[in-house]
Amino acid sequence: MTFFDQVHAVGPALALYAGAGAVLSADLLQGRRASIWGLAVVAGVVSLGWTLAQLIVGVEAGALGGAVRVDAFSIYLAAIIGGVVLAVTLAAREWASTLEQAAEFYALLLVSAGSMVLLAQAEDLITLFVALETTSIAQFILVGITRNDRSSEAGLKYLLTGAVAAAILLYGFAFLFGMAGTTSLEGIAVWVASAPEAQRLPLMLAFVFVAVGIGFKMALVPSHAWAPDVYEGSPALVATFLSVASKAAGFAVAMRLFYTALGGGDTFISQDWGKMFAVLAALSMIVGNTGALLQTNAKRLLGYSSIAQAGNIAVGLAAVAAGSTAGPSGVLFFLGAYAVTNVGAFVVVSLVADRLGSEQIADYAGLVKRSPAAAIVLSLCLVSLTGIPPTAGFVAKVYVFNAAVQSGERWLLALVAFAVLNTAISAFYYLRWVRTMILDEPRDATPFRASGGVQFVLAVSAVGVLLFGLDPSPLIQAAQDAAAALL
């Protein structure tokens, strides 16, 4: 590849990194006079536009000496991450204008997103780990950026749990390197394909360590405990970014590792790691849903919801191991649907917290009378998270659960039955919140409005939830093309 081909391959990440540098430089040279928000938006638009250009052209090649690979899979994930960072940037203008560290906020957001794009492209264990730690360090600071007691506590918890998860992940990578003699995912796949049965135990140890380590990004049990505390203590827009982009990057790493390096459903250890993810999925669903039932804080409830949704997505990972051809595309479709849904929900939570000074669900009483648009969008997103038609969340759950059923494995059929039961449990706390907004009387009927950026993000989110629910075929096709690139 020529130099320009290399640059084009990693262009979406480079655009975000360059945007972070431009934001910090503008703030250093011009201070408050600089339009740092505008620079951050431009960086997000350029990155997303570059990603779409790659999709249209159909780029599929290795770059940086084989450290990264640009294909339909990485482009799909880059589009999700780019869309989320752009949405958060647009919605953050009013809130960040009151923040003393506004330039640092935008710069860290862009650096974290750029590293996530590289995570989705990574084809080497070293690249994976460096990109993962780069995005994690930026997120640790973002969580504590307001420097109040709650934010600082959340940032410290996130840092400590993230450090432990990174150490466990690195230990798993060391096992894989020690056995395969290479850090290349393709090289590891070649070794796994010819490995003797005697290597089952060390391989199992390796993928258990790896699953626990990357489970931190996915908020998957047993690496889940940070999510409710961090979501509650961090600014709502930071929690938006963590809940969607970070989860998408985590599942991207999982699919690269377990589908590419460990051979998907075609190796002698496939059933082992598939059943492991089935257990983790079941535990995540029950921990997330039962925890959410008891919550009165909106962000904390969405934190537990994130754990439960990670369990739903992990059903697709388990189906991959069982040889289901729909498993990978089901996971990717779910990530796309979850992105538009959770962005809308968290942006409304951020708006309400800013206007009412409260994150308590009780204070959402009668929200439909105070801000009809916000109440309608949040209700739509909560219905989608529940999995009720005609929303994107319904199609996503049907897609993933059907992928597991198609495998014909009894243990996956039992997992789907358990997931359906947990969906019924989740309906209680999601729809209770909807009832509070629509049927309860407000304590104060004074109306309020969102800024232009927030209104735009909410409109796009609502359209996405309905569009992917009524006509999911474009997103399904994109997910299938992305999944095919892993083969």
Token output for 109:
């957001």
List, in sequence order, every residue forming a beta bridge with 403; answer none if it has no partner: none
CB of 446 closer than 8 Å to CB of 84: no
Query: In one letter, which amino acid is 342?
Result: N
CB of 204 closer than 8 Å to CB of 172: no
For residue 328, how far is the Cα from the chain centroid? 16
3-state SS assignment for residue 255: helix
pLDDT single digits (tens) 26-37: 888 876 555 888
State if pTM tops 0.95: no
Locate the domains of the chain by residue range. Answer: 264-487
CB of 366 closer than 8 Å to CB of 445: yes
Name the pLDDT band for 5 (thresholds 50, 70, 90): low
pLDDT at 1: 62
Distance, CA of 286 to CA of 423 (rounded, Å): 10
Burial of 10 (0-12, 13-18, 19+ CB in 10 A): buried
pLDDT single digits (tens) 72-99: 898 999 999 999 999 999 999 888 888 8
Mean of pLDDT values over 319-330: 78
Burial of 58 (0-12, 13-18, 19+ CB in 10 A): exposed
Task: Please name the residue that has the structure tokens 């498993």.
Answer: 327
List, in sequence order, every residue forming a beta bridge with 61; answer none if it has no partner: 70
Distance, CA of 206 to CA of 213 (rounded, Å): 11
In the chain, the N- to C-terminal Cα span, in Å, equals 23
| Residue with the larger pLDDT of the pair 32 and 61 | 61
One-character DSSP codes across 138-188: HHHHHHTTT-SHHHHHHHHHHHHHHHHHHHHHHHHHHHHHHHHS--BHHHH
Task: Please name the residue that has the structure tokens 């509650």.
Answer: 232
Distance, CA of 64 to CA of 6 (rounded, Å): 7
Asked whether residue 187 carries a pLDDT value surpassing 80, the answer given is yes
Asked whether residue 278 carries a pLDDT value surpassing 60, the answer given is yes
3-state SS assignment for residue 371: coil
Mean of pLDDT values over 259-272: 67
Distance, CA of 70 to CA of 72 (rounded, Å): 7
Burial of 33 (0-12, 13-18, 19+ CB in 10 A): exposed
What region, left, alpha or beta, does residue 357 occupy, with left being phi > 0 and alpha being psi -120 to 50 degrees? Answer: left
Name the pLDDT band for 444 (thresholds 50, 70, 90): confident
CB of 238 closer than 8 Å to CB of 96: no
Token output for 210:
């790896």
Asked whether residue 445 carries a pLDDT value surpassing 80, the answer given is no
